[in-house]
Structure 1
Amino acid sequence: MPAVSNFYPIGTPGTPWGNAERAVWLSKQSRQRSYVTDVVERIERLSTRFDVSEYGTLNYSPDLYRLFAIRSRNWRDGKPLVLVTGGVHGYETSGVHGALQFIEQRAADYADRVNLLVAPCISPWAYERIHRWNANAVDPNRSFRENSPAGESAALMQLIAPMRGKFLVHIDLHETTDTDESEYRPALAARDGKPFEPGEIPDGFYLVDDTENPQPGFQQAIIDAVAKVTHIAPSDEKGRIIGSEVVAPGVIRYPMRELGLCGGVAGARYSTTTEVYPDSPRATPEQCNAAQLAAVCAAIDFALSHLDQ
C-alpha cells in the first residue's frame, strides 16, 4: 500500500475547506478515461434488448453528463422489483462494469421473474477522473437524503421515488481500494478540518448489511457465491473490517439511511453493499467484475427463493 501522509496538501490543518480550497482541489482533477466510450456506448448496445432511459443530467461545466437507467423490457406490475446500482463512487471500477456485465450476461435469466432496474454509473464525472467525490468535492454516497447536496444522489432518488419501499432487492456495487487510505480519507479529513486517523484496507471481498434491517441469511448467500470467485476479507486482530465489528465472515453493518448511503435509498426488503478489493495481488480486474456479477445473481436467487417467508 502507498505511504500515507498525515497532512493533505490542500488547506490548513484543522480548518474546513472553503470555496478557495475546493477550487484548488478541482483544478487538480483531470479526465483519465471516457464515460461515453466505456459506459454509454455499452448501454446503447443494450437498448436492443432492454429499455434504456435517461433519468437526469449533470452539468459540470464545460462537461455535461447524461445519466442512464436500464429496465427489463417485459416490465409487469406484480413482479418483484430488483434494483442494481453501480458507480456511486466513480473510481470503483468493478461496480460500474460488474453492473453492465450482469445486464449483458445474466439479466435475461431473470426477465420473466423480476422487474430489473439497473443504474450502472451514478457518478460519471468521478468515473472519468477516477475519484470518489463529485466536482463539488461532495461524496454522493453520504448524500442520499432530502435536499441532497449531490446531483448524482438526487437524480437516483427521483428515479426510484415511485417504487421506494416496493423493492425486493437492492444491491449497491462498490470497491475498497488502497487509495481510500492514501488519498480519499486524508482528503476527507482535510476537507472537514479534522485530524486524519490512519486505518487498514482489508484484503478481499466483504459486504455491508443494513443495521436497521439486518438480513444475515441473505448476506451469507452472497458471501458463499462470491467465495467461489475471489477471496473473502478476513477480520483484523480486533475482529473488525474498516473499523466496524464483523457480524459474520465478511459482513459488517452500517445504518444505511442515517448515513445517507445508497444502500438504504430503496427501502428494499433485502439490501446490501458489496466491497471488492481490486488492489489485491490475489485478484484480477476480471475477478472483481465476476465477483460483482456473482453477488448480484446470488442476491436475486436468495430473495426469490424466500418470497413466502
Structure 2
Amino acid sequence: MNTAPASYPIGTPGTPWGDAERAEWLSRQTRQRSYESDVLSVIERLRPRFDVEEYGRLGYGPDSYPLFAIRSRDWRDDLPVVLVTGGVHGYETSGVHGALQFVEQHGLDYAGRVNLLVAPCVSPWAYERIHRWNPHAVDPNRSFREGSPAEESAALMRLVAPVRDRALLHIDLHETTDTDETEFRPALAARDGKPFAPGGIPDGFYLVDDSENPQSGFQQAVIAAVEQVTHIAPADGNGEIIGSPVVAPGVIEYPLKELALCASITSAPYKTTTEVYPDSPRATPEQCNTAQTVAVCAAIDYALAHR
C-alpha cells in the first residue's frame, strides 16, 4: 500500500481552502472514463424491462450530466419500496456497476413483491474523474440535508421524497480503497485546514449500520451472504474498523442522519451502507461487483421476511 504524502500539494497547512485553492484543485481533475459508455449504455439496455426516468441534470460547464433512476415497471402503491443507490462517491466503481448488475441480473426476481427504485450513479462527474468530491470540492455523502451544498445530493432527495416514508429498505453501495488513505483523506484534511492523521484500510467487505436504529440481524444476514463470494474485513488491533467499534463481524455503526449520509434519506427500518475493498489481492473487480449484488439481494430477502 502506498503511503500518504507528508503534506498535500494544495493550500497552506492549517488554513482551510478558499476559492483559489478550490480552483487549483479543480484544475488538476481530468476525465479518466466515460459515464455515457459505462453507465448510460447499460441503462439503455434495461429500458425494455424497467421504467427509466431522468430525475435531474448536473450542469458543470462545459459538461452536462443527466441523472437517471430505474424503477420497477409493475410499480404498485400497495408494495413496499426498496431504494438502491450507488456512486454517491463517484470513484467507488463497484457501487455503480454492482447496482446495475443487480438490476440486470435480479431486478425482475422481485417483480410484484417490491417497488424497486435504483439510482446507480449519483455522482457522474466524480465517476468520470475517479474522485470522491464534486467539482466544488464538496463530498455528496456528507450533504444529504436540507439546503444541501451538493446538487447530486439534493437531486436524489427530491427523487426519493415521495416514497421517503414508504421505504422498507435502503442499501447504499460503497467502496473503501487505498486511495482513501493516499489521496482523499489528505485532501480532506488540507481542504479543512486540519492535520492529517494516518489510518488504515480494512481488507475486506464490511457494513455500516445506523446507530440510531441498529438492525443487527439484518446486517448479519447480509454479511453471511456476502462472505460466500468475498472475504469479510476483520477488526483491527483495537477491535475497530476505520476507527469505529466492530459491533458484529464486519459491522460498524454511524449516526447516519447526524452525518448527513445517503443512507439517512428515507424512514426505512432497514438501512445499510456496503463497503468493499477492491484493492485487496484477494478480490477481483468481478468479485466486488458480485458482492454488491449479493448484498442487495440478501438485504431485500431479509427485509421481506421480517417486515
Same-fold call, TM cutoff 0.5: yes
Offset from partner CA, 1:38-64 (integer Å, 9 cap, x none): 001110111110000000000110000
Secondary structure of the residue aligned to 2:257 is helix
Note the 1:53-64 alignment, pairs <5 A.
53-64=53-64
Offset from partner CA, 1:217-261 (integer Å, 9 cap, x none): 000000000000000000000000000000000000000010000
- Percent identity of paired positions between Structure 1 and Structure 2: 75
Whole-angstrom CA distance in 2 between matches of 1:3 and 1:210:
31
Residue 117 of structure 1 is matched in structure 2 by 117
Secondary structure of the residue aligned to 1:168 is strand
User: Residue 6 of structure 1: CA displacement?
Assistant: 2.8
User: Residue 304 of structure 1: CA displacement?
Assistant: 0.6
Residue 170 in structure 1 maps to residue 147 in structure 2: no
Residue 12 of structure 1 is matched in structure 2 by 12
Corresponding letter in the other structure for 1:38: D
User: Residue 266 of structure 1: CA displacement?
Assistant: 1.4
Give the alignment's Cα RMSD to 1 decimal. 0.5
Corresponding letter in the other structure for 2:242: I
Corresponding letter in the other structure for 1:205: F
Corresponding letter in the other structure for 1:202: P
Corresponding letter in the other structure for 1:178: D
Runs of 4+ displaced beyond 3 Å:
none
Secondary structure of the residue aligned to 2:69 is strand
Offset from partner CA, 1:83-123 (integer Å, 9 cap, x none): 00000000000000000000000010001100000000000
Corresponding letter in the other structure for 2:53: S
Residue 295 of structure 2 is matched in structure 1 by 295
Residue 81 of structure 1 is matched in structure 2 by 81
Using structure 1 for the length normalisation, give the TM-score: 0.99
User: Residue 165 of structure 1: CA displacement?
Assistant: 2.0
Secondary structure of the residue aligned to 1:302 is helix
Q: Is the 8 A contact 2:89 2:140 kept in 1?
A: yes
Residue 92 in structure 1 maps to residue 81 in structure 2: no
Residue 200 in structure 1 maps to residue 197 in structure 2: no
Note the 1:149-168 alignment, pairs <5 A.
149-168=149-168
Identify unmatched segments of 5+ residues in structure 1.
Answer: none
Residue 127 of structure 1 is matched in structure 2 by 127
Residue 142 of structure 1 is matched in structure 2 by 142
Residue 40 of structure 1 is matched in structure 2 by 40
Whole-angstrom CA distance in 1 between matches of 2:269 and 2:173:
17
The count of corresponding residues between Structure 1 and Structure 2 is 307
User: Residue 166 of structure 1: CA displacement?
Assistant: 1.4
Whole-angstrom CA distance in 1 between matches of 2:163 and 2:81:
8
Residue 25 in structure 1 maps to residue 46 in structure 2: no
Residue 264 of structure 1 is matched in structure 2 by 264
Offset from partner CA, 1:122-159 (integer Å, 9 cap, x none): 00000000000000000000000000000000000000
Q: Is the 8 A contact 1:6 1:186 kept in 2?
A: no
User: Residue 262 of structure 1: CA displacement?
Assistant: 0.2
Q: Is the 8 A contact 2:92 2:174 kept in 1?
A: yes
Q: Is the 8 A contact 2:85 2:171 kept in 1?
A: yes
After TM superposition, the structure 1 stretch with the greater mean CA deviation from structure 2, 292-301 or 161-170, is 161-170
Q: Is the 8 A contact 2:3 2:181 kept in 1?
A: no
